[in-house]
Amino acid sequence: MSLREFLEMMESKREVLHITDQVSPCFEISAVLQAFAHEPILLFENAEGFDTHVVGNICGTRKRLCSALGVDQENLYYKMIDAWRSPKPPKVVEDAPVKEVTESLNLLRIPVLTHFEKDAGAYITSGVVSARSPDGTIENVSVHRLLVLDETHLAIRLVPRHLFALWKMAKEEKRDLDVAIAIGVHPAVLLAAASSPPFGVSEYGIANVLLDGNLRLVKCESIDAYIPADAELVLEGRISCEKERDEGPLVDIIGTYDIQRKQPIIEVVNIMRRENYIYQAILPGGPEHRLLMGMPKEMMIYEAVSKVVPRVKAVNLTEGGCGWLHAVVSIEKQTDGDAKNALLATFAAHSSLKHAIVVDTDIDIYNPSDVEWAFATRFQGDEDLIIIRNARGSTLDPSADQEGGLTTKMGLDATKPLSKPCEAFEKANLIESQRVKSILERYGKRTRSRL
């Protein structure tokens, strides 16, 4: 199951736009990606100074991610939860397409994008980084931003999570940590790598379930790590246990520049690739970035809230909330306390969350106007507001304590109070006759039965 196979499927659905004009990897490709956000996959066939094609916006819509997993949106969370709960190790093969070419050791020959004007440099943003603990018992697979420093070195942003823990283990033994960086993989691998299973659970096992058991791995040539056999490009390297340098700024998920920090350096020791490989790019702060980071958190919120209320219809980490800081949760409640329990479960499931709103199942949580209408007509500030002060939040939020990570959280219960007649909160319906439907269709308006 490869990126190429997915692209072929999207080509058959006419969801790939081929850009044949010459475009520079420095600022220009990212500007085009931003202009086509929420639209087709973009395949850049003429990256200035390179023979390699560049692809972006692979995971830019929910519909496309559902296609990648072979499910409809209604069953998306069920498939993700099943993979998260019951991962299965992928098959390991001896040879693979990613080993077709051993590339000369020069990172500057890869069309890595420089995205925004104040970025520290060219950043790899779609790199799936795999590593194993020094004793080989724990494997972690995660996505990290990687700053190209020169022909053989990268700086990696290590958030204090699982890869950081493996690096600390290696550092305590005064040894560098072997890492493999796979670029150009099937969306299911990216989605799994962006999830947060318990430490010790390999995200490759999650990806394998998402791909119905069809993920294949192959061992690296020069280091102790495994990679997707059908990846487009792989960098083999070692995270230094001693060498660090300033990393950043780079635009992160909320669309502002993340602060500069001292971060470890990776020495790249080998490069493997497919013939005529495709370089995959993800625009920082774009819809693809937000969906890949947000959807695993939506799944965790869905599962957590399902334990405290009778039914959860859907969860949306909203675009206006950067796909990270704001959540809207649709529930079917039985008592007036259900919504507040749902809010507390929502915050517990996603620690970076800042604001959450719970609505009834008749509200379209993907329509900001519909959510605001529920807030306007079903919320009372003195009864339906929860404030949580000095809680752990996101260090990406510029209004929060970015060093300590503390923030104030707000939960809003915008569900209908059960103490009042249900009819008082219903939207008015129009009657659409067949004649009216025909008129609307003829003039390019989709029919709708509700104002």
| Residues annotated catalytic, as ranges | 252
The DSSP bridge pattern shows strands 53-56 and 41-44 to be antiparallel
In terms of Cα–Cα distance, which of 366, 372, 246 is closest to 317? 366
Name, in order, each residue with C-beta under 8 angstroms of 420's C-beta and a sequence gap of 6 or more: none
User: Torsion angle, CA of 371/376/378/384, rounded to 10 degrees?
Assistant: 100
Between CA 154 and CA 110 the distance in angstroms is 13
Between CA 104 and CA 119 the distance in angstroms is 27
C-alpha triplet 400, 389, 164: angle, nearest 5°: 55
253 touches 289 (CB < 8 A): yes
Preceding omega of 287 cis (within 30 degrees of 0)? no
Between CA 84 and CA 66 the distance in angstroms is 16
Tokens representing 26 are: 């420095």
In terms of Cα–Cα distance, which of 127, 7, 11, 17 is closest to 68? 7
Name, in order, each residue with C-beta under 8 angstroms of 198's C-beta and a sequence gap of 6 or more: none
Name, in order, each residue with C-beta under 8 angstroms of 414's C-beta and a sequence gap of 6 or more: 357, 358, 359, 363, 371, 374, 375, 378, 379, 384
Residue holding tokens 């020169």? 150
Tokens representing 234 are: 């792989």
Tokens representing 106 are: 């020069």
The DSSP bridge pattern shows strands 216-219 and 91-93 to be parallel
3-state secondary structure of 144: coil
* DSSP assigned state of 261: E
Give whole-number Cα distances, 78 to 70, 246, 299, 302, 328, in Å: 12, 41, 8, 10, 19
To the nearest 10 degrees (0 to 180), the angle between helices 76-85 and 287-306 is 80
